[in-house]
Structure 1
Amino acid sequence: MIRGLYTSATGMLAAQTQSEVIGDNVVNIKTAGFKEQLASNISFPAKLIQRIEGNQVSGAVAIGGMGTGLGVDRISWSNVQGSLDVTDANADLALTTPGYFVVQTPEGERYTRNGHFQLDSAGMLRTAEGFTLQGEEGPIGPLSSEFSISADGTVMDQGQYVNRLRIVEIPEDALQRAGQSLYSSAQPVQASVGAQVRQGAIENSNVDLSGQLVNMMSVMKAYEANQKLIQTQDEMLAKAVNEVGKI
């Protein structure tokens, strides 16, 4: 009975975590370059149930197994390409291939697909938070307002070569959330081969709203089912203590 309570409780906790992940996805549906989060479940090892005759454990007959609970194994990210919005703004960049832009933050390098950059007063390309966009030869800039970036990431300004965007590839299982659309890596990153950049466009979030709503309904039903199981088992325990115990 107590095992059943534990199993139902872990199911509710897993559903709550999934609900939080879905909520975060929906909140960031308008965040450029945001990658949809995916929560994968893992079941705890099942226990073998045996029928015991009297108090004799020896010779017990196996009658099946019982799950001991459920948990969220890990949070991963969808690598589906988001749709592109054409803005025609020079500082807006979108990756049309796998990979990430590199920006420098006070905590070190971070990676993003949010290409909504800005040209500051010194002519440096920065994120909305003020982090500098990195090239193969350091920060991108200083630039005039007429700079251009070719498909391979080469930055030109007034006919002169300036730098080339540094674009890296990161395995999905190495990504770690470091902000709304920023990520860090648990492994050394590698330069992206054949990365393609589109100037004057922004990649939208790849969150599928209809899919998130369907997932939310499933999570809510799972939560309610486990909640009902806890209530039922609590009632059975109450009867076992208050009624059966009197006999």
Structure 2
Amino acid sequence: MRRMDVIANNIANASTTAFKRERVVFQDYLFEMKGEGPKDLRQVQMVLDYGVVPDMKNGELNPTNNPLDVALDKEGFMVVENDQGERLYTRNGKFQVSVAGELVTQTGERILGTNDQPIRINPEDVNIVISDDGTIRSDLGEIGQIQMIQFDNYQGLERRGDSLYFTDRPERPAVGLRLVQGALEGSNVNPIQQVTNMISVLRSYQSMERSLNDYSEMRDGAVDRLSRVQA
């Protein structure tokens, strides 16, 4: 059921900008349980839902020719800040200029520069050029530099909606990560593959359900026969 939920969410976001498909990580859990005798122990094995991991493989880059649209060419994130001052991360580079003159996401989160401050763009700044290292320039000169970071481990990223992530894992400055101006990254979800995975999960679920029903019928039959013998 957990896998089915994740696959369904992947399919629902097949057209979401910069969406990263997810997969569930399971872990075997072994422990000992007392048996019938005081010294009898038996090993019990269970499966734990360990977490969800995003697949950071790049989606296709789609040209938009909008100077404020940017896409990342490798794994990593841009840093944003919401109204509560919370530090968040995104790969959705569809930016705009707010009424306050700040570079923001479509939902209003401020894009942070390498100095951890919002990037301000004045009305006089025209012919915006964003270099592959995130440096923003206009006819009036350099405006700022978009902060890009990477993680050593992407497990544990918490989705916050609107293509935003949160984590308390340590970040590091991006290495070998480039920005592409005038383009947006597409979702890396392959709908056909995800539907195939959904069918596989459904069949596994149905097989397990049949096994449980068979076991229940065997148990009921044994109880019925035992009650007749005792009678």
* Superposition TM-score, scaled by structure 1 size: 0.81
Match in the other structure for 2:135: 154
Q: Is the 8 A contact 1:152 1:194 kept in 2?
A: no
Q: Is the 8 A contact 1:38 1:76 kept in 2?
A: yes
Q: Does residue 4 of structure 2 align to residue 27 of structure 1?
A: no
* CA–CA distance in structure 2, aligned partners of residues 122 and 115 of structure 1: 19
* CA–CA distance in structure 2, aligned partners of residues 200 and 101 of structure 1: 16
Query: Structure 1 residue 68: deviation in Å?
Result: 3.9
Q: Does residue 160 of structure 2 align to residue 178 of structure 1?
A: yes
Match in the other structure for 2:192: 210
Query: Structure 1 residue 126: deviation in Å?
Result: 1.1
* Root mean square deviation, CA, Å: 2.5
Q: Does residue 118 of structure 2 align to residue 139 of structure 1?
A: yes
Deviates more, 1:119-128 or 1:91-100: 119-128
Identity %: 28
Match in the other structure for 2:62: 85
Match in the other structure for 1:167: 148
User: Structure 2: which amino acid aligns with 1:163?
Assistant: G
**How many equivalent residue pairs?**
223
Query: Structure 1 residue 71: deviation in Å?
Result: 3.4
* CA–CA distance in structure 2, aligned partners of residues 107 and 246 of structure 1: 71
Which residue, 52, 58, 67 being the options, matches 1:75? 52
Q: Does residue 75 of structure 2 align to residue 98 of structure 1?
A: yes
Q: Secondary structure at the match of 1:162?
A: strand
Deviations 1:30-78 (CA, angstroms, capped at 9, x unpaired): 1111111011222343879x9xxxx9999x9xxxx98744332221010
Deviations 1:143-195 (CA, angstroms, capped at 9, x unpaired): 43531111111110214011011001022124222224111123121111232
User: Structure 2: which amino acid aligns with 1:109?
Assistant: R
Q: Is the 8 A contact 2:53 2:156 kept in 1?
A: no
* CA–CA distance in structure 2, aligned partners of residues 104 and 66 of structure 1: 49
Q: Is the 8 A contact 2:107 2:162 kept in 1?
A: no
User: Structure 1: which amino acid aligns with 2:57?
Assistant: V
* CA–CA distance in structure 2, aligned partners of residues 44 and 234 of structure 1: 25
Structure 1 or 2: larger helix share? 1
Q: Is the 8 A contact 2:52 2:156 kept in 1?
A: no
Query: Structure 1 residue 122: deviation in Å?
Result: 3.4
Match in the other structure for 1:123: 101
Distance 1:107 1:141, change over 3 A: closer
* CA–CA distance in structure 2, aligned partners of residues 71 and 222 of structure 1: 17
Which residue, 196, 199, 208 being the options, matches 2:181? 199
* Superposition TM-score, scaled by structure 2 size: 0.87
Q: Secondary structure at the match of 2:112?
A: strand
Q: Is the 8 A contact 1:147 1:157 kept in 2?
A: yes
Deviations 1:186-210 (CA, angstroms, capped at 9, x unpaired): 3121111232111110001111212
